Amino acid sequence: MSDIAPQKTEHHPPIIRIAGLSKSFQSETGSFQALRGIDLDIDKGEFVCLLGASGCGKSTLLRIIAGFETASEGTASVFDRPVEAPGPDRGIVFQDYALFPWLTVHENIAFGPKHAGMSAKEVKRIADKFTEMVGLTEFIHHFPSQLSGGMKQRVAIARVLANDTDILLMDEPFGALDALTRAKLQEELLDIWQQTKLTVIFVTHSVEEAVVLADRIVVMSAGPGRVDCDMTVDLPRPRDVSSEPFNAIRRTVAERLSSNLAPGRRLTAGDAA
């Protein structure tokens, strides 16, 4: 949308560029517009949270970037090429894990490298490395049905990391976890992100989660889904959820989320407080 201020001055093209994107679903009862006029550029290495109430089209937007859905209008490009199909450059972590239940932890993590035709030795090396990165070395021979939710999600994350992905697309990945596990995984995800320099788009409906994680929060509003505002979060990491600046930003974001104001300017976290 034109009312979103341009990105900070760029020296390189964004890794993801969404321009004038709309999406309508057709059904017998007619057509339903889920997204309208989305413009969004995401730079390499950014951690972006898509925040919005349920039903505002966050998953749909993510699925278009992933290549599972096609845009009705406009384009989504990754590395300057329009997205046509899912591919290993975009790793997806689903809320319901989507692990292969007949494969062990290690085999799940090895899935991508194995299907890329690497040698068995190389596959094992990679799978070992990422199994260790998510702290599951003890559980390599377990099947997903023998793991807790938090461990399953670790496997899901390791599985896309092992596939040497550039972009991590996460759709409410921690939504089904208890608060403690969730906090732990958030911390681990930030560690991994800092180690790997991945670009992350993280969908959530939790304001706190967005403020804990993001460099940048894109608030979406519904009916039909569009970008309501786009804020930068300048807090240093690790972030202290009880600190005053953290709460100031949380308040601003929460207000923004609950208000139905006209789409606004790009805010910086600082001017809110």
Partner 1 sequence: MANEVNTTTPSETVASGGTPPAQPAFGRAVARRLRKIGLGLIFPLALIGFWEFMVRWTGTRLIPPPGDVLTMMWDFAFGGIYEDAFSASLPIHLWVSLQRVYGGFLAAALIGIPLGVALGRSPLLRAMLDPTLSLLRPVPVTAWLPLSMIFFGLGPKSAVFLVFLGAFYPILLNTVFGVKSVDERLLEAAAMLGCKGSQLFRSVVLPAATPSIFNGLRLGHGFAWILIVVGEMTGVPEGLGAVIMDGRTLSRTDLVITGMIVIGVTGFLSDRLIVLLNNRLLRWSPQHHV
Ligand X SMILES: Nc1ncnc2c1ncn2[C@@H]1O[C@H](COP(=O)(O)OP(=O)(O)O)[C@@H](O)[C@H]1O
Contact positions toward ligand X, by CB under 6 A? 25, 32, 34, 52, 54-60
In the complex, the smallest distance separating the C-beta of residue 144 from partner 1, rounded to whole angstroms, is 8
Which of these segments, 37-45, 147-155, 223-231, 239-247, binds partner 1 (CB under 8 A)?
A: 147-155
Q: Which H, E and C letters describe the chain, residue by residue? A: CCCCCCCCCCCCCCCEEEEEEEEEEEECCEEEEEEEEEEEEECCCCEEEEECCCCCCHHHHHHHHHCCCCCCEEEEEECCEECCCCCCCEEEECCCCCCCCCCCHHHHHHHHHHHCCCCHHHHHHHHHHHHHHCCCHHHCCCCHHHCCHHHHHHHHHHHHHHCCCCEEEEECCCCCCCHHHHHHHHHHHHHHHHHHCCEEEEEECCHHHHHHHCCEEEEEECCCEEEEEEEECCCCCCCCCCCHHHHHHHHHHHHHHHCCCCCCCCCEHHHHC
**Which of 55, 102, 241, 255 is the binder for partner 1 (CB under 8 A)?**
102
21 binds partner 1 (CB under 8 A): no
Nearer to partner 1, 73 or 89 (CB): 89
59 binds Mg ion (CB under 5 A): yes
Closest CA to 111 of 122, 100, 101, 119: 100
**Which of 28, 138, 244, 271 is the binder for partner 1 (CB under 8 A)?**
138
**Which of Mg ion, ligand X, partner 1, none sits in contact with 112, Cβ below 5 to 8 A by type?**
partner 1
Q: Are the C-beta atoms of residues 268 and 231 closer than 8 Å to each other? A: yes
**Which of partner 1, ligand X, Mg ion, none sits in contact with 88, Cβ below 5 to 8 A by type?**
partner 1
**Which of 36, 58, 159, 250 is the binder for partner 1 (CB under 8 A)?**
159
In the complex, the smallest distance separating the C-beta of residue 83 from partner 1, rounded to whole angstroms, is 12
Q: Are the C-beta atoms of residues 112 and 160 closer than 8 Å to each other? A: yes
Nearer to partner 1, 73 or 96 (CB): 96
**Which of ligand X, partner 1, Mg ion, none sits in contact with 55, Cβ below 5 to 8 A by type?**
ligand X
Which of these segments, 37-45, 87-95, 205-213, 257-265, binds partner 1 (CB under 8 A)?
A: 87-95
**Which of ligand X, partner 1, Mg ion, none sits in contact with 14, Cβ below 5 to 8 A by type?**
none
In the complex, the smallest distance separating the C-beta of residue 147 from partner 1, rounded to whole angstroms, is 7
> 58, exposed or middle or buried, with CB in 10 Å at 0-12, 13-18, 19+?
buried
112 binds partner 1 (CB under 8 A): yes
Size of the site for partner 1 (CB under 8 A): 40
Query: Which residues lie near partner 1 (CB under 8 A)?
Result: 66-68, 85-88, 90-92, 94, 96, 98-104, 111-112, 115-116, 135-136, 138-139, 142-148, 150-151, 159-160, 163, 181
